[in-house]
């Protein structure tokens, strides 16, 4: 892990940057010029090239330089703890609410009271006491091979435990934090007993022993190894944008289905951040957090990485928009962390390896 500025924006994300820039980018104001020596130290486990332009734009607007320190979430949490009161970290950013909850449990965050953030970020996507905030959403949904399954056969997450899907589902291991949060949401919704019954039924329907990342599940379903893949939506557009015709064929083979549209809605998780308790640059940390909730930054999240913006009304990437509108679960994502330990135990008992 080191201070770094990652490579410039890739061609696929340049359009997002252009759209965002066209909205508000102007020469630095006198205020931004006065801020030229101010810095904010961001510890982040996000690893997307588009984020570079996100931070460059923040600096252009405010004059505050972003020192980016990258690493895996757990390693960054340990680093901040080990650095103690002398830690240079101002903001910790990561993916998945359960990871933010872990950092919270380690006492890493200081509450931020920002009317600006609270106005823009829905209540269920942020900590109730302002310890951290979700700035982008990712939907974990069912993707199906259009030659083997029709949308009419699909309905809810609960239905994935039905015997009609025996040997037909591809999904990552129980060690994956995205699946742990999905399981935690089932515990919060159904209760522990019913959630465990669901987990056992789901495991019985696995097409193969879990292996690989979300893309491996999508590719398995496209190849006919499974009929369904459980994955985050932002992975699928990458196939459409790839120059390799074989990758484009995978996109054309797979379709997105949003479960539980007649009830609570599809499972949503977040990418988010909070101010570190010992932040040496508190004003700059708050400025960065408020910027991440701004319409400009939300465009970068939505169109730069195929995510859903946390703030309503922000334009989506055209391919993502093509998946259609959907109802999302309104559960507060804080509960994913609270039920994480229970979820992991249930997955172990169900044989979800």
pLDDT digits (tens, 9 = 90+) for 44-98: 999 887 789 999 999 999 999 999 999 999 999 999 999 999 999 999 999 999 9
Query: What angle do helix axes 214-222 and 245-253 make, rounded to 10 degrees?
Result: 80
Mean per-residue pLDDT, 34-46: 87
As a whole number, the mean pLDDT across the chain is 92
Tokens of 236: 């699928």
d(CA 311, CA 73): 24
Q: Which of 129, 163, 121 is nearest to 268 (CA)?
A: 121
d(CA 197, CA 202): 9
Q: Looking at the structure, give the CATH architecture of the domain made up of residues 3-137+268-316.
A: 3-Layer(aba) Sandwich (3.40)
| Cα distances (Å, whole numbers) of residue 257 to 205, 216, 274 | 18, 18, 32
Per-residue HEC secondary structure of the chain comes to CCEECCCCCCHHHHHHHHHHHHHHCCCCCHHHHHCCCCEEEEEECCCCCHHHHHHHHHHHHHCCEEEEEECCHHHHHHHHHHHHHHCCCCEEEEECHHHHHHHHHCCCEECCCCHHHHHHCCHHHECCCCCCEEEEEEEEEEEEECCCCCHHHCCCCHHHHCHHHCCCEECCCCCCHHHHHHHHHHHHHHCHHHHHHHHHHHHHCECCCCCCCHHHHHHHHHCCCCCEEEEEHHHHHHHHHCCCHHHHHHHHHEEEECCCCCCCCEEEEEEEEEEECCCCCHHHHHHHHHHHCCHHHHHHHHHHCCCEECCCCCCCCHHHHCCCCCCECCCCCHHHHHCHHHHHHHHHHCCCC
Q: What is the pLDDT of residue 100?
A: 98
Mean per-residue pLDDT, 124-144: 98
Residues 129 and 165 sit within 8 Å (Cβ to Cβ): no
Residues 123 and 253 sit within 8 Å (Cβ to Cβ): no
What is the residue extent of each domain of the chain?
3-137+268-316, 139-266+323-349
CATH topology agreement for domains 3-137+268-316 and 139-266+323-349: yes
d(CA 303, CA 316): 6
pTM: 0.89
pLDDT, tens only, 303-315: 889 999 999 999 9
pLDDT higher than 60, residue 25: no
Confidence band, pLDDT 50/70/90 cuts, at residue 32: low
Q: What is the pLDDT of residue 13?
A: 44
Task: Give backbone dihedrals phi and psi of 172, rounded to 5 degrees, phi first.
Answer: -70, 175
From the candidate CATH numbers 3.50.50.60, 3.40.190.10, 3.40.50.300, 3.30.70.520, the one assigned to the domain spanning 139-266+323-349: 3.40.190.10
Q: What is the pLDDT of residue 38?
A: 96
Q: What is the pLDDT of residue 50?
A: 79
């Amino acid at each position: 892990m080191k201070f770094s500025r990652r490579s410039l924006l890739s061609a696929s994300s340049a359009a997002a940057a252009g759209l965002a820039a066209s909205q508000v980018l102007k020469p630095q104001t006198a205020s931004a010029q006065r801020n030229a020596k101010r810095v904010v130290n961001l510890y982040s486990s996000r690893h997307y090239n588009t984020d570079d332009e996100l931070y460059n734009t923040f600096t252009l607007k405010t004059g505050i330089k972003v020192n980016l320190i990258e690493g895996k979430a757990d390693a960054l949490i340990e680093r901040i703890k080990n650095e103690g009161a002398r830690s240079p970290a101002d903001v910790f950013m990561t993916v998945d609410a359960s990871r933010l909850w872990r950092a919270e449990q380690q006492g890493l965050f200081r509450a931020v009271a920002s009317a600006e953030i609270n106005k823009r970020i829905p209540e269920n996507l942020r900590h109730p006491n302002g310890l951290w905030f979700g700035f982008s959403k990712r939907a974990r949904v069912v993707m199906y091979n259009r030659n083997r399954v029709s949308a009419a056969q699909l309905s809810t997450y609960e239905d994935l435990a039905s015997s009609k899907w025996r040997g037909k589902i591809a999904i990552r291991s129980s060690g994956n934090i995205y699946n742990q949060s999905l399981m935690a949401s089932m515990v919060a919704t159904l209760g522990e007993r019913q959630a465990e019954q669901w987990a056992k039924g789901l495991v019985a329907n696995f097409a193969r022993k879990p292996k690989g990342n979300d893309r491996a599940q999508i590719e398995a379903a496209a190849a006919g190894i499974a009929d369904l893949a459980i994955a985050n939506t932002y992975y699928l557009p990458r196939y459409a944008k790839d120059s390799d015709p074989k990758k484009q064929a995978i996109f054309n083979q797979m379709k997105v289905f949003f479960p539980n549209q007649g009830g609570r809605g599809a499972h949503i998780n977040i990418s988010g951040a909070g101010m570190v308790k010992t932040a040496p640059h508190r004003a700059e940390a708050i400025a960065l957090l408020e910027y991440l909730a701004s319409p400009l930054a939300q465009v970068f999240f939505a169109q730069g990485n195929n995510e859903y913006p946390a703030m309503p009304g922000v334009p989506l990437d055209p391919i993502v928009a093509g998946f259609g509108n959907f109802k999302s679960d309104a559960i507060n994502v804080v509960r994913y962390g609270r039920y994480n330990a229970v979820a992991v135990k249930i997955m172990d008992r169900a044989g979800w390896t």
